[in-house]
Amino acid sequence: MAQKTNDFAPKKVPKQARSRATFDAIVEACARLLVERGYRALTTNHIAETAGVSIGSLYEYFGDKDVVVYEVVRRTAVGFSEDAARPVSTLQGVPVAAGVRAWLGALLEAIRSREPLMRAIAADVPAHLRDPHIREAWERHLAIARAAYRLAGDQVREDRAEEVSFLVVTLVDAALTRLVLDPPPDVDEATVLDELGTRVIDWVAPRR
């Protein structure tokens, strides 16, 4: 039977500053250990020791290591979405070509700044802990792209806006993630960004 999302919810979410600090230290320690050791070598004892808390404190908030890992993946995905959304509010009135290239740059930086952890998550974390957050991040990214599309007004094509947004986000997410986490040999990053930007601009430009 498939596990439900709430199977991996923390036992409780802290409200006081000291408790939040403990909770955050546990999650951050787990993130570091995922990069250093990988999921399979990770234990709750390792996490507690690295966080500088007792194992009892860890179990006060988290039922097992999977609940901590689930929170790490959730935070990583949400942080990526927030970074991806940040440029959108500055794009109103900006020419589409400049806006697209600024957006691609922001997305690339959002992935690159999380590269070791994203690589560890992709390589070793089980799908049932990873995939719900990847799907939610993709849905948030699609919503961001649609918001940017609306801001662009008559600078973008009016027909097939939903379909074009879907294609753009699917292409861009896959290409940039592969470029950072598993780059093919002899592929120049700047050239990839230039070509990707050109394709996206062509897709969204009004049909003449």
pLDDT (tens digit per residue) in 61-120: 999 999 999 999 999 999 998 888 887 777 677 888 888 888 888 889 999 999 999 999
With 70 as the cut, is the pLDDT of residue 48 above it? yes
**For residue 105, how many other CB atoms are within 10 A of its CB?**
13
**For residue 60, how many other CB atoms are within 10 A of its CB?**
17
10-45 tens-digit pLDDT: 998 888 999 999 999 999 999 999 999 999 999 999
Q: What angle do CA 147, 121, 19 make, to 5 degrees?
A: 85
Q: What angle do CA 19, 24, 28 make, to 5 degrees?
A: 155
| CB 133 within 8 Å of CB 74 | yes
What's the CA gap between 52 and 46, in Å, rounded?
Answer: 10
| CB 156 within 8 Å of CB 205 | yes
Comma-separated ranges of CATH 1.10.10.60 domains in the chain = 5-68
Average pLDDT value for residue range 131-148: 88
Query: For residue 33, what pLDDT is reported?
Result: 97
What's the CA gap between 205 and 208, in Å, rounded?
Answer: 9
Look up the pTM and report it. 0.87
Domain 5-68 classification at class level: mainly alpha
Comma-separated ranges of CATH 1.10.357 domains in the chain = 72-204
| CB 106 within 8 Å of CB 84 | yes
| DSSP secondary structure string for all residues of 113-149 | TTHHHHHHHHHHS-HHHHHHHHHHHHHHHHHHHHHHH
The beta strands (E) that lie in the chain are given as none
Residue range 72-204, CATH number = 1.10.357
| Rounded alpha-carbon distances, angstroms, from residue 59 to 62, 63, 114, 146 | 5, 6, 27, 41
Closest by Cα among 81, 82, 103 to 91: 103
Closest by Cα among 174, 164, 166, 181 to 196: 174
Backbone φ, ψ for residue 51 (5° rounding): -75, -15
N- to C-terminal Cα separation, the chain? 53
